[in-house]
Structure 1
Amino acid sequence: MFNIGDFARLGRVSVRMLRHYDAVGLLPPAHVDPSSGYRFYTAVQLQRLNRLVALKDLGLTLEQVRVVLDEKLSVEQLHGMLSLRRAELRQQILADESRLRRVEARLRAIEREGAMPTDDIVVKPVPAVRVARLTATAASYEPEDIGPVIQPLYPELIARMERAGVGFAGPGVATYEPTEGDQVLVHAGVTVAVEPSDRFEFEVVDLPALAEAATIVHRGRMDDVDATYQAVATWIEAHGYKQNGFAREVYLQYGEGDPADWITELQLEITKP
């Protein structure tokens, strides 16, 4: 048997926590000396301690931990539950990282207020382009709603194109359409040079030409695009134009290599009122 200090060192927890787990009935010692009150533990109790700490670190309350431990789940059941929780935590980390990037992008936009560069904005006609595309609905045009919708569309579209033997004829092109309320139709497209066909597991559509578009090149993740959009907005207003609809996003270089080197051209249709 091990005294409480040795057991704490073996289990990589504090003596204070062991006393607390004893007090709440989660991990009582195997033996308590009646004269001294010293607590003693056995090596087999490390198994319960491992489960207790793992469940607690995964965000369960001590009462929830008690329920799980008292149900005496098998190793397979416990592993499955912990694996699921681990996946949830990883997804939360990714969501938090994305949120942090959006906050940083907003801060950069705030820092550049009143001094947004407009030199890189080019007004030009945009020719019609044929794309293969998949469509889904996002709850809104906010980045936290668009990202989780459009990101899985592209791998699925590419897989379907490969099955159909359809190759790329140019860059990816994402377009958006308003629908009910705040919802937005998200079209994930890739430039192709094939005729529409019922045998395809995707649409083939022609995006119409834009007679005049304000365009700007954005470098980096689309999570960081806020300041770039606002630069275009500043230019459009300053030059007396009206914006028509959502921007087209043309992914000239995206998804591979250093995200700082990713290149997206934003194309916003404009007209004179």
Structure 2
Amino acid sequence: MFSIGDFARLGRVSVRMLRHYDSIGLLRPAAVDPHSGYRYYTAEQLRRLNRVIALKELGLTLAQVQAILDDAVDVAELRGMLRLRRSQLEAQLAADTARLAGIEARLRMIETEGRMTTQDVVLKPIAPVRLAELSATAPSYQTEDIGPVIQPLYPELFRRLEAAGIRPSGPGIAWYAPAGEPGGEAVVVHAGVTVDVDPDPAAGVAVVDLPAVPAAATVIHHGPMDEAEQSMQVLARWIEENGYRADGFAREVYLDYCPDAPEKGVTELQLPVRHG
């Protein structure tokens, strides 16, 4: 048998924790010296300790842990519970990572305010264009909602075009439209690329004609699209200074599409405008 100190080291827990588990009846020592009161444990008891720690990591209270263990949860059930918790933690980590990236992007935008001026904005008409595209709905137009929706669309779009033998004739263009009820935040994300073909249902992609835009405030954005807010705010200042009003969502024309190195990307933002 092992002393409480040795058992704590073997189980990678504290002596204080083992004493607490003993006091509440969750993990009793195998033997207690009647004269010294020293607690002793067996190697077999590491199995129960492992289950206690694992169930605690699932977010259960010690009372719930004890009830589960006393009902003899088998290895398969415990494994399933742990896998579910792992999936939950992975999803939470992904969400926190995305949130951190958004904070860092916003901080960089604040730190670089003023470096890009409205002199970089060009007002011009936009010609009609034919696109092959795939679409999906995002819960909002926020960067953190758009990114996860649009990112898988382009690889799948290019895969389908290659399978259908369709070659792009120009740059990729993403455009957006409201989804659902008027006034709602959801948007339909259209991931397209310029083509010169007729619609063909067998190709597995939609072929649409985007209409001409009489006037659009445009600016060239350098870098990843999750940092495009600064360029959009430059457009906002230009629109206000020149007496225009925004007229819908901006189109994103990927002049240099770099999926493996988004920091090298070059994108023209085209925001339709009209006189206020």
Task: Report TM bin, short chain.
Answer: 0.7 to 0.9
1:98 corresponds in structure 2 to: 98
Per-residue CA deviations over 1:37-78 (Å, capped at 9, x if unaligned) read: 222111122222223323333444434444544454443443
1:46 corresponds in structure 2 to: 46
Per-residue CA deviations over 1:142-175 (Å, capped at 9, x if unaligned) read: 2333333333433443444344343444433221
- Please list, as runs of the form range in 1=range in 2, the aligned pairs for 1:121-140 lying within 5 A after superposition: 121-140=121-140
Per-residue CA deviations over 1:170-224 (Å, capped at 9, x if unaligned) read: 4332211123122222212233333211223221112223333222233333332
% identity of equivalent residues: 59
2:260 corresponds in structure 1 to: 256
Q: Which moved more, 1:162-171 or 1:219-228?
A: 162-171
Matched residue SS, 2:188: strand
Is the Cα contact below 8 Å between 1:245 and 1:269 reproduced in 2? Answer: yes
- Counterpart CA distance in 1 for 2:268 and 2:158 is 21
1:202 equivalenced with 2:184 (yes/no): no
- Please list, as runs of the form range in 1=range in 2, the aligned pairs for 1:141-160 lying within 5 A after superposition: 141-160=141-160
Counterpart residue identity of residue 217, structure 2: A
- Counterpart CA distance in 2 for 1:189 and 1:71 is 56
Q: Which moved more, 1:90-99 or 1:153-162?
A: 153-162
Matched residue SS, 1:199: helix
CA displacement at 1:236 relative to structure 2: 1.5
CA displacement at 1:112 relative to structure 2: 5.4
- Change beyond 3 A, Cα 1:65–1:244: same
- Counterpart CA distance in 2 for 1:212 and 1:194 is 27
1:188 equivalenced with 2:188 (yes/no): no
Matched residue SS, 1:141: coil
Any runs of at least 4 consecutive aligned residues in structure 1 with deviations exceeding 6 A, and if so which?
none
Q: Which moved more, 1:177-186 or 1:138-147?
A: 138-147
Q: Which moved more, 1:119-128 or 1:108-117?
A: 108-117
1:29 equivalenced with 2:32 (yes/no): no
Is the Cα contact below 8 Å between 2:109 and 2:227 reproduced in 1? Answer: no
- Counterpart CA distance in 1 for 2:8 and 2:68 is 22
TM-score normalized by structure 2?
0.84
- Counterpart CA distance in 2 for 1:13 and 1:38 is 18
CA displacement at 1:26 relative to structure 2: 2.9
Is the Cα contact below 8 Å between 2:133 and 2:192 reproduced in 1? Answer: yes
- Counterpart CA distance in 1 for 2:188 and 2:42 is 61
- Change beyond 3 A, Cα 1:116–1:5: same
Q: Which moved more, 1:133-142 or 1:160-169?
A: 160-169
- Change beyond 3 A, Cα 1:61–1:170: farther
- Counterpart CA distance in 1 for 2:167 and 2:228 is 29
- Counterpart CA distance in 2 for 1:250 and 1:70 is 62
Unaligned runs of 5+ in 2: none
Counterpart residue identity of residue 48, structure 1: R
* 2:247 corresponds to which of 222, 244, 247: 244
Q: Which moved more, 1:217-226 or 1:196-205?
A: 217-226
Matched residue SS, 2:214: strand
